[in-house]
Amino acid sequence: MRYFVHFSYLGTDYHGWQKQPNASSVQEKMEQAFSLLLATPIELMGAGRTDAGVHAKKMVAHFDTELGFDKQIIKDRLNAFLAADISIDQILAVTQETHARFTATSRTYEYIVVNQKDPFQHHGAHYVFQPLDIQSMNKAAQILLGEKDFECFSKSNSDVHTFICDITHAKWVATKGQLVFTITANRFLRNMVRAIVGTLLEIGTGKRPVTDIPLLLETKSRSKAGPSVPAKGLYLTQINYPENIYV
């Protein structure tokens, strides 16, 4: 039987979702907990990878087991066993062919910027002291919409079969003392959101014009785009799947 795990985590103390040698990861901690409580080795396949320090308000992974268990009881025991910065939200049975990564239809990220220094948001937002032109940043964000080659915003030497992504939403909104950038696409390249945000912030501070965006996309050169913003302001907030996957 295949199960989906819906969970969230604060990524500050982890080297991302994916297991890595000599580094603490969310996947490692969760697999240890699942394997202990179910008394059998459990391997989790995540919907994607997040970089060190990135957070997830909504992440999904799947695992297979023939064991019978009470999903609510195991969820509660996992939350009692895991560290406070990882929370299991749901465990749901899905069809066997459903895959946490490949069945996903879209993903949404948020990036949080604060314009005033706030010690209570130090670990969860990026502080930018310069005034920001939100209107220009949103004009630039709209140019990103659609199916395009985003190699210029991808981590250098990324091992992917294509740099084509389809962005369906990209917008900055000022709310509750924060400036939040929300972006949705069918897929994302490594470091893509942080590079896009860094470039849009350069536009917002007047360091480059809105018209730079189409030129950057044409160059396909990461060195031409803006710097990557810190991981601490980035949150995976939603992963969408077809409605018929749950059993």
Catalytic residue numbers? 51
DSSP state of 96: T
243 burial (CB, 10 Å; 0-12 / 13-18 / 19+) is: exposed
CA distance 116 to 1: 50
Buried b (16+ CB within 10 A) or exposed e, 102-136: ebbebbbbbbbbbeeeeeebeebbbebeeebeeeb
| DSSP notation for 136-182 | HHHHHHHHT-EEEE-GGGSPTT---S--EEEEEEEEEEEETTEEEEE
Tokens 């910027």 sit on residue: 113
207-211-213-215 Cα dihedral, nearest 10 degrees: -110
CA distance 204 to 140: 10
Give the count of beta carbons closer than 10 Å to the beta carbon of residue 47. 23
Say if residues 121 and 48 touch (Cβ distance below 8 Å): no
